[in-house]
């Protein structure tokens, strides 16, 4: 239904089509959210998708998070969350899952399934078991396990906690939620950190828009191979599923099942895996 109302297919009344398109996709996202129980879901929703389903939102993705001091968050030392790991020492203990919940709120979970929460006694970040984290939300209007994330350009992110303070990566590895504004030390870098098999992307797909330096988004005509870059809003842009191949290698699959490829002349095209166009484009 979303594709039926896509503005590119209704150029006689683009504004009305865009409104209907957003309503359909937002309704679908609410339906997905209703299928999940608790902040991390109960295995339903996106986790049990059917083949050929078009995804409209991303629920969670695995990442490494680095401070301005070039040290990565780690769950190595007991209860307190620290950032002292160097890049050469990265392991599954430095892999965290950022999971969208609602209205800009995120839950951050370590590889061992402990959840990052704001301590009751101050501004420390601690790791606690899921059951404990979700049964004790705290006294704030925002639960202690909930964080606000503002994703910036160049892989940067700013994080605020339930006390309405920004997280800061201090020298020595301490992480504190005690800053009123976000400047250099409150900036974190992140990058995808899939497991070796990339299996997490098969049960919880990462859905992305692609934006050019012109601030326009890539859109796709299902009847043509070439892609264009004319959409001015994510709601009207093509949504790609990021599929892990191996390591940090990925491929991008469009909503019609075709893959984004680079042709021999350098242009971006969409092609089916089993077609001659795909063999010529790769």
**Confidence (pLDDT) at 223:** 84
Q: Which of these CATH numbers, 3.50.50.60, 2.80.10.50, 1.10.3720.10, 3.40.50.300, describes 60-192?
A: 2.80.10.50
Q: State the DSSP string of 164-222.
A: S-EEEE-TTSBEEEEESS--STTEEEEEE---SS-THHHHS-EEE--B-TTSPEEEE-T
| CA separation for the pair 227, 188 (Å, rounded) | 33
Contact at 8 Å (CB) between 163 and 179? no
| CA separation for the pair 77, 83 (Å, rounded) | 10
Burial class (CB in 10 A: 0-12, 13-18, 19+), 264: exposed
Whole-number Cα distances in Å, 258 to 72, 170, 224, 263, 274? 36, 45, 11, 14, 10
| pTM: predicted TM-score of the whole model, two decimal places | 0.62
**Confidence (pLDDT) at 161:** 93
DSSP state of 53: P
CA quadruple 159, 161, 165, 170: dihedral sign: negative
CA atoms within 13 A on the CB side of 242: 20
| CA separation for the pair 237, 212 (Å, rounded) | 12
**Confidence (pLDDT) at 264:** 81
Burial class (CB in 10 A: 0-12, 13-18, 19+), 98: buried
**Confidence (pLDDT) at 224:** 85
**Confidence (pLDDT) at 18:** 63
pLDDT, averaged per 10 consecutive residues of the chain (282 residues), comes to 54 63 56 45 36 49 92 88 94 90 81 90 89 74 86 85 92 91 92 73 71 83 86 80 74 88 85 66 48
**Confidence (pLDDT) at 93:** 92
State the fold for domain 7-57+204-281: Trefoil (Acidic Fibroblast Growth Factor, subunit A) (2.80.10)
Task: Answer yes or no: same fold for 7-57+204-281 and 60-192.
Answer: yes
**Confidence (pLDDT) at 10:** 60
**Confidence (pLDDT) at 213:** 78
Q: Which two tokens stand for residue 56?
A: 């409209």
| CA separation for the pair 270, 254 (Å, rounded) | 8
At residue 252, what are phi and psi to the nearest 5 degrees?
-115, 120
Domain extents for the chain? 7-57+204-281, 60-192
């Amino acid at each position: 239904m979303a594709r039926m109302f896509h503005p590119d297919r209704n150029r006689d009344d683009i504004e009305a089509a865009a409104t209907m398109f957003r309503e359909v996709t937002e309704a679908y996202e609410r339906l997905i959210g209703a299928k999940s129980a608790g902040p991390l879901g109960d295995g339903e929703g996106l986790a049990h998708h059917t083949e050929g389903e078009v995804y409209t939102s991303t629920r969670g993705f695995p990442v490494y998070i680095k401070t301005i001091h070039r040290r990565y968050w780690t769950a190595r030392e007991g209860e307190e969350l620290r950032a002292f790991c160097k890049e050469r020492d990265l392991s599954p203990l430095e892999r965290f899952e950022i999971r969208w919940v609602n209205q800009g709120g995120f839950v951050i979970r370590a590889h061992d399934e402990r959840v990052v929460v704001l301590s009751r006694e101050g501004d420390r970040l601690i790791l606690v078991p899921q059951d404990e984290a979700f049964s004790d939300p705290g006294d704030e209007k925002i639960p202690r396990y909930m964080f606000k994330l503002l994703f910036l350009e160049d892989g940067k992110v700013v994080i605020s906690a339930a006390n309405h303070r920004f997280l800061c990566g201090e020298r020595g590895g301490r992480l504190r939620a005690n800053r009123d504004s976000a400047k250099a030390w409150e900036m974190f870098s992140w990058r995808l950190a899939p497991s070796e098999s990339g299996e997490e992307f098969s049960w919880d797909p990462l859905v992305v828009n692609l934006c050019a330096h012109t601030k326009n988004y890539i859109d796709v005509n299902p009847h043509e191979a070439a892609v264009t870059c004319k959409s001015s809003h994510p709601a009207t842009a093509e949504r790609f599923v990021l599929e892990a191949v191996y390591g940090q290698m990925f491929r991008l699959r469009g909503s019609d099942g075709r893959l984004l490829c680079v042709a021999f002349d350098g242009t971006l095209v969409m092609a089916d895996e089993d077609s001659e166009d795909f063999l010529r484009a790769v």
